[in-house]
Amino acid sequence: MSFDGVVTRAIVHELSKLAGGRISRIHQPHHTDIVLQIRAQGENVKLLISANPTYPRIHLTQEEFVNPQEAPMFCMLLRKHCEGGMIESVTQVDMERIINLDVRTRDELGDTTRKRIVVEIMGKHSNIILMDPSTNTILDSALHVTMAISQYRQVLPGRPYVFPPSQNKLNPLLTSKEEFTSRLDWNGGRLDKQLVDTYSGLSPLFAKEIVHRAGLATRETLWDAFSGVMAKVNRHDYHPVVVETAAKTHFSVIELTHLMDGRTTPYANVSACLQAYYEGKALRDTVKQKVHDLIRIVTTERNKNEKKIEKLEQTLVEARDAERFKLYGEFITAHMHQLKRGDTELVTVNWYDEAGGTITIPLDPLKTPSENLQAYYKRYNKAKNSLQIVEEQIVQAREEIAYLEGLLVQLDHASLKEAEEIREELVEQGYVRDRQKRGTKKKKDVRPELEAYTSSEGVEILVGKNNKQNDYLTHKLAAASDTWLHTKDIPGSHVVIRARQFSEQTLFEAAVLAAYFSKARHGSRVPVDYTLVKHVKKPSGAKPGFCIYEQQRTLYVTPDEALVQKLKSNAPPAHSE
């Protein structure tokens, strides 16, 4: 079910308890999301307002958000006009998906002033708008709508607020039986579609539920079903549920009797229902966007290093011709008396050739014999000196590529917090510019939270999901007697078995985890090295996550997602000693 007018009415009724509450803090974790911390009726609550084009919504939430170090401009404006203010009312515009939050606060002079936060939940056109209701002027919005986007309605600072275009539909709460029966074309088919096209606030899922309750759908039965459901909506008699079917998951504020084959989960209130439905989806969408940006940065750097290696290898080929340039110099020296400016080549017997063949040496006709000699010796010295340097640069570039490919593997299955840790690492390594303002104090280092798993015999297994976690797990948290695992010559996670003694089954399960959280996730018979933590060292100056190890053994496993989920379900909460 989409976030339709009925759901909007239900959530507005639930949020009406916020009236009289005070906004204590405002955050903007994403450019489409606003979180208001409100003190209302003796408790602190968080109100999430999202204009996400895929998952627009508004509801109370218990979700934790990662806020940017520097608040966006729209967030700063909301803080200026609404932070510390009191919510006077939360209202819905007719049965539309438009919600007004009226806030009373004081301006810089101490005078009482009112501002309105308009929440428009309209799919890809969703928006959050701050306006002055006394002048009907827009102060700013989460998303700007220019003339190029819409000629009918611009959403820009200083412009008058204009309601979205009317669809000229009827209010389902105010219709009569006569009007209801006269509006529908009983021979036109698809009664559920006709209900959606005729009445505002009804989603296709809601309309299908009404038609299903009507049975054979005569005029009487359809009106009875329609009026019965709308009577419940009118008196705010809601039953929030999430229904999972084989094809799709739906949410509703009424019971969905036409989806009885699905698994139905009831919720105590609308906010809890909406959070359960949206949280995973919206989080994946946010993570996908954040990770996509980081993947683009890392991929670009990897491609740069690959091109660098191509050029260096070309230079290496030229550098290996150093002895040939030296040989040319020797022959030019021996035949200096025969050469003159204007000669294009020197053909002479090659006394290094046992067969007594000749050698042809190209000459620059614009140079004197002495200058040609100096040019070849200069190329010889340059090639000889660059040989070692170029080889070192190739090694460094290959190490850089291995490091970057490791980051790509980590980003492939990173959570929002893990993606932020990877971003911090990229800032530290100089790949990404620091978003933190100059002069501001950096946050204290926080111990990373590690993913914990439990083997079938009850042994704890910890997995690092990025380089920060890998370094912390291997070099700080793990004991010297713990067992360390990593895919052989394949980028992946560090895995530690936190026990001195364990069975072969635990070792196998830990190896499956190492293979699963690696570049070889979709492979088979993946080689996994294991050794004691005391045999794992990090070279001085090495890249994050890099280490060397010895006295290892290797076993071969095939990644198994079902086994990984089973080991996860046995585990305690995330580990951060």
Q: Say if CB 379 and CB 325 are below 8 A apart.
A: yes
Per-residue pLDDT averaged across 570-576, rounded? 60
Per-residue pLDDT averaged across 62-83, rounded? 90
Nearest to 376 by CA among 388, 364, 365, 386: 364
Of 70 and 444, which is predicted with more confidence? Answer: 70
User: Rg of the chain's alpha carbons, rounded to an integer?
Assistant: 35
Give me the residues paired with residue 555 across strands. Answer: 528
Measured over the CA atoms of residue 152, residue 158, residue 163 and residue 164, the dihedral's sign is: positive
φ and ψ at 447, to 5 degrees? -65, 130
Q: Which residues of 451-483 are buried (b: 16+ CB within 10 A; e: fewer)?
A: bbbbbeeebbbbbbbbbbbbbbbbeebbeeebb
Looking only at the bridges linking them, the beta strands covering 345-349 and 358-362 are antiparallel
| In 121-201, beta strands by DSSP E | 127-132, 137-141
Nearest to 409 by CA among 399, 391, 422, 397: 422
23-37, 230-244, 337-351, 416-430: which has the minimum mean pLDDT? 416-430
Of 445 and 212, which is predicted with more confidence? Answer: 212
The helix-helix angle for 5-15 and 219-234 (nearest 10°) equals 20
pTM: 0.61
The residue extents of the domains of the chain are: 5-141, 177-266, 289-434, 451-569
Q: Say if CB 443 and CB 437 are below 8 A apart.
A: no
pLDDT confidence of 446, banded at 50, 70, 90?
Answer: low
Mention every residue, 6+ apart, whose C-beta is less than 8 A from residue 242.
249, 250, 251, 264, 265, 267, 273, 276, 277
Three-state DSSP class for residue 144: coil
What is the total residue count of the chain? Answer: 577
Of 386 and 208, which is predicted with more confidence? Answer: 208
The segment with the largest mean pLDDT, out of 226-240, 349-363, 418-432, is 226-240
Between CA 359 and CA 311 the distance in angstroms is 30
> What pLDDT was estimated at residue 316?
78
Between CA 14 and CA 123 the distance in angstroms is 22
In DSSP notation, 526-546 reads: EEEEEEEGGGEE--TTPPTT-
Q: Say if CB 141 and CB 130 are below 8 A apart.
A: yes
> What pLDDT was estimated at residue 541?
85
> Tens digit of pLDDT for each residue in 155-191?
999 999 999 988 889 999 999 999 998 988 888 788 9
Give the type of residue at 539.
P
Give the type of residue at 75.
C
Three-state DSSP class for residue 23: strand
> What pLDDT was estimated at residue 189?
80
Q: Say if CB 475 and CB 448 are below 8 A apart.
A: no
Q: Which long-range CB contacts under 8 A does 227-232 form with residues at least 24 apart?
A: 227/177, 227/180, 229/254, 230/172, 230/173
Nearest to 573 by CA among 489, 479, 462: 462
Take residue 79 and report the two structure tokens written for it: 């803080």
What integer best gives the mean pLDDT of the chain? 89
**Residue 559 in this model has a pLDDT that exceeds 70:** yes
Looking only at the bridges linking them, the beta strands covering 483-487 and 460-463 are unpaired
Tokens 């509703």: give the residue.
Answer: 252
Residue 422: how many CA atoms within 13 Å on its side-chain side?
29
CATH fold of 5-141, please?
Answer: ibrinogen binding protein from staphylococcus aureus fold (2.30.310)
What secondary structure letter does DSSP report for 112? E
Per-residue pLDDT averaged across 235-244, rounded? 93
> Tens digit of pLDDT for each residue in 116-155?
999 999 988 999 999 999 999 999 999 999 988 888 899 9
Q: Say if CB 247 and CB 205 are below 8 A apart.
A: no
Per-residue pLDDT averaged across 321-331, rounded? 83
> What pLDDT was estimated at residue 242?
92
- Chain centroid to Cα 362, Å, comes to 59
Per-residue pLDDT averaged across 560-575, rounded? 78
> What pLDDT was estimated at residue 50?
93
CATH fold of 289-434, please?
Answer: Helix Hairpins (1.10.287)
Between CA 206 and CA 363 the distance in angstroms is 88
Give the type of residue at 489.
D
Per-residue pLDDT averaged across 367-390, rounded? 85
Take residue 532 and report the two structure tokens written for it: 């004691």
Take residue 366 and report the two structure tokens written for it: 């614009």
**Residue 441 in this model has a pLDDT that exceeds 60:** no
Give the type of residue at 256.
L
Nearest to 542 by CA among 496, 475, 449, 480: 475
Per-residue pLDDT averaged across 306-312, rounded? 90
Share of the chain above pLDDT 70, in %: 95
Between CA 277 and CA 213 the distance in angstroms is 25
Q: In this structure, how many other beta carbons lie within 10 angstroms of the beta carbon of residue 299?
A: 15
**Residue 380 in this model has a pLDDT that exceeds 70:** yes
